[in-house]
Structure 1
Amino acid sequence: MDRLQEFFAANTFLVLVFAGLTVALVVNEIRLRFRPFKAVSPAQLTRLINDEDALVIDLRGNAEYERGHIIGARHVLPSELSPEHRVLAKLGKDKPVVLVCAGGLVSSGVATKLAKAGFTRVAVLDGGIGAWQGASLPLAKGKA
């Protein structure tokens, strides 16, 4: 026990960094478990599209969307997408909505906003369009 105390005294900075990282990891895991939407893999997204006619919304910029998007995906910029948007107004709030962006960061923020507005089946494509391409799934090119 004395050696452990000696180690802590000699390496206080490293011990504090380790403790801080541990706390950050735990907090991040708790946040992920209690977020109001779920992340889906490319395979799960394919099932949602085929079995439940999920609405896929691509949040990337115009140029990225035109270079390649998931077949049937609607293109809406994040700044334009609100719970009252015309694409969402036609849906019931319990129909699956899957948001896609380049890497998953933008879609997470929009998904939280939709979930707070009452949409019960909101998801994001885990890893974004890169994960879709990584799974060798097809992309459509051109405008919507």
Structure 2
Amino acid sequence: MDQFIEFIGNHPFLVGAWLLTLVMFVLYERSKAGKAVTPAQATNLINKEDAIIVDIRPKKEWATGHITNAKHIPLSDLDHRMDELTKYKQRPIIVVCNLGQAASAATRKLKAEGFENAVRLSGGMTEWKGQSLPIVK
């Protein structure tokens, strides 16, 4: 530990550059993922703004439980089934996956197709279930 502190003291510019690079990387990755909403914000969007939920998980995971009234369009089928969502272009769309990671790719695809109100559920179904919010099987 003493050597680490000595290294920082001897190389402040190197350590500063490393920290700046780390911060920039984190910010860049967050911006690529698109806007995320918490389960509480998602519930508000569903109740007040009539948001559509698109669950992109595989069929096996979908069968274990999903959000009420969610549309099941697996990520692998999203490109082929985009026309099913065109009537909802003006409404908020919440993309749900298992952990919130894969939803960022789907959100980017939706935004590229003109869905300006597409967001992803932060933490995915894991967070939704963790907060004991309702699911149907």
State which of 36, 54, 57 in structure 1 corresponds to 2:54: 57
Query: What is residue 46 of structure 1 aligned with on the other side?
Result: 43
The structure number with the bigger radius of gyration is 1
Give me the identity figure in percent: 36
TM-score, L = length of structure 1: 0.78
* Aligned positions of 1:1-144 closer than 5 A: 7-8=10-11, 19-32=17-30, 34-35=31-32, 37-82=34-79, 85-91=82-88, 93-141=89-137
Deviation per residue, 1:47-71 (Å, 9 max, x gap):
1111111110111111111111011
| Cα deviation digits, residues 53-108 of structure 1 (max 9, x gap) | 111011111111111101111111111113862421222x2210110001111110
Give secondary structure in 1 for the equivalent of 2:76: coil
1:105 alignment partner, SS class: coil
How many equivalent pairs are there?
Answer: 132
- Greater fraction helix: 2
Structure 1 residues 78 and 4 mapped into 2: Cα distance closer, same or farther (>3 Å)? closer
What's the CA shift string for 1:10-46, capped at 9, x where partnerless? xx9xx857743541322321453x4584100001111
Provide structure 1 residue ranges, at least 5 long, that are not aligned to the other structure.
none
Deviating runs (4+, > 6 A) in structure 1? 3-6
Separation of aligned partners in 2, 1:25 and 1:83: 37
* SS of residue matched to 1:120: coil
Over 3 Å counting, the alpha-carbon distance change for 1:24 and 1:43 in structure 2 is: same
SS of the residue 1:132 aligns to = helix
Contact 2:68 2:134 (8 Å CA) reproduced: yes
Conserved in 1, the CA contact under 8 Å of 2:45 and 2:92?
yes
The residue matched to 2:77 in structure 1 has which SS?
Answer: coil
- Contact between 1:37 and 1:115, CA under 8 Å: does it hold in 2? no
